[in-house]
Amino acid sequence: MMNPPEGVQAMTIDQVRFDAQGLVPAIVQDADSGRVLTMAYMNRDALERTVSDGQTWLWSRSRAQLWHKGATSGHTQNVRGVLVDCDADAVLVLVEPAGPACHTGARTCFFTQLSGTLEEPFAALADLARTVAARAADGDSASSYTASLLARGIDTVCKKVGEEATEVVLAAKGAERDQVIYESADLLYHLTVLWEATGVRPHEVATELARRRAPVETNGTA
């Protein structure tokens, strides 16, 4: 087993606290976007299979049987990691979904708003990366700016990133707040295209950022 990331403690399945029915709540989260996809339950067998197979397995309480997520629809979930909460009575499954998580066809089961405002900046970046990857795979440079940009090669992609970075700097120097936002969006888009051109995944960049993060102080100071 790989060593856990800094600040994450190692645990075994034997330490997970299943309830009287032998179940533990399982929250399934998109590892790239941070979007919560669904909440279900696992028994010990489902949890063991999830860890060993690298795919999400759940326990269907209505059918009283194991459930391989996506086995019928093809919308499987590749598991990047499984975390356990502080009381060891709930698990968080970080996945890379191959399609919608909800039986309605929605990407997440949580699409009905009860209150508040919905702002998902990291989800938007992950969705952008998926769209860029889809355009690259399609390769239709006649109808897709993304595909045409990639078709022109890495030099062109790099040039566009440089141009957009300069536009952000100029907007900031001119104290044009709205323009900084606009140009930053352009920069993030072209940077995402550059990642696609070089085979870099957004989560790899996030992992590097996490590696650089200063350890959290426990005495209330930063």
**For residue range 124-171, what is the model confidence (pLDDT) as tens digits?**
888 899 899 999 999 888 889 999 999 999 999 999 999 999 999 999
| Number of Cβ atoms within 10 Å of the Cβ of 119 | 7
At 97, which helix (H) or strand (E)? strand 91-97
Q: What pLDDT, in 10s, does the model give residues 37-50?
A: 999 999 999 999 99
CA-based nearest residue to 30, from 104, 85, 106: 106
Could you give the domains of the chain?
13-97 (3.10.20.810), 121-212 (1.10.287.1080)
Query: Which whole-number Å values give the CA distances from 140 to 147, 149, 181, 189, 193, in the listed order?
Result: 6, 11, 29, 18, 15
pTM of the predicted protein model: 0.67
Nearest to residue 186, comparing CAs of 128, 131, 104? 128
Res 215: pLDDT: 58
Alpha-carbon gap, residue 85 to 10, rounded angstroms: 12
Cα–Cα distances in Å, from 187 out to 96, 147, 158, 162, 196?
25, 17, 11, 9, 14
Which residue has better confidence, 178 or 219?
178
Tell me phi and psi for residue 67, to 5 degrees: -140, 110
